[in-house]
Amino acid sequence: MKKLDETLTMLKDLTDAKGIPGNEREPREVMRKYIEPFSDHVTTDGLGSLIAEKVGLENGPKIMIAGHLDEVGFMVTQIDDKGFIRFQTVGGWWSQVMLAQRVTIVTSKGDVTGVIGSKPPHILPPEARKKPVDIKDMFIDIGASNREEAMEWGVKPGDQVVPYFEFTVLNNEKMLLAKAWDNRIGCAIAIDVLKGLKDAEHPNVVYGVGTVQEEVGLRGAKTAANMIQPDIAFGVDVGIAGDTPGISEKEALGKMGKGPQIILYDASMVSHKGLRDFVTDVADELDIPYQFDAMAGGGTDSGAIHISANGVPALSITIATRYIHSHAAMLHRDDYEHAVKLITEVIKRLDAETIKTITFN
């Protein structure tokens, strides 16, 4: 493996951490380790979202930057007599990316390696071979001889099952391949924004937040926002990269390396016009590249945050990412660094008067 710099080491630690919805302890501890040095106070809400507070001006406007800690994965639901594991998807999965993939079952006795299996195509009738295998017909094989052996190894219903993949810097060193970019990249952005504000003067109270259970309904964003009651919020997440073969610009505009995506519209929210204009004005002023995108489906933590309390002007800023909701996704380091710079510079320019103007724009 190539020698990793400080940023890449953080990204590796975040993406290597295992944490499906409801099991975010490990990525939360990694995020805490990296964000605590740049925070005045770190706490959690009752559901487990991490909230790191950095005070620029006491009682100043509250700015929330939310990335979610959880990744898509699976949960053990039962073990059959022969020791094969039945499972439930946790978060959205496309069956075609699952078969023959290695997974890790996190048990109270340690990690257990398995592989997702199904009936081999050789014994299927010709018509069945042409169809994708249903998730309900898949199982996890851990090499156990029977149920008792699997249980001896610590496997039990409710255990989380996490995709296995090794963080990799590709030959083009800007291209980074890992599991769980959705959405440890958002957590990394929150960490680095607080780092960028460490010695900067700004008249706000900034919250870097790692939310829980985004993949099953934006749940942690709702509880964290109710606890913080922000004046402005940014949901930072992955977006669709529309630059692979077969995708037209009509389907997806985003391209890796062309800057963070400013989301105009998705299934969870219409972006706040005043905040969107303010952010793009700052980007134009500083020559920070960005691109617009809109999605008919999907959503980010902004969707829950913007309808919390009395309503919060919110904007989703995303990183164009290939192959999300699979074992391995790819993104471009420049997009990440430009997103950090953009959000940091926006916060430096926010104050109570500016937020009042934004809110009613």
| Active-site annotation, residues | 214
Q: Find out whether 306 and 269 touch, Cβ atoms under 8 Å.
A: yes
Question: Which are the contacts of 43, defined by CB distance < 8 A and separation ≥ 6?
Answer: 51, 53
Q: What are phi and psi of 292, to 5 degrees?
A: -90, 150
Measured between alpha carbons, how far is 39 from 196 in angstroms, rounded to an integer? 11
Please state, in angstroms and as integers, the Cα–Cα distance from residue 337 to each residue in 34, 67, 166, 269, following that order: 17, 15, 22, 25
Question: Using CA atoms in the order 18, 19, 20, 24, what is the torsion angle rounded to 10 degrees?
Answer: 170
Q: Spell 163-202 as b/e; 16+ CB within 10 A means b.
A: bbbebebeeeeebbbbbbbbbbbbbbbbbbbbbbbeeeeb
Residue 220: other Cβ atoms inside 10 A = 29
- Considering only CA atoms, which of 271, 247, 293 is closest in space to residue 361? 271
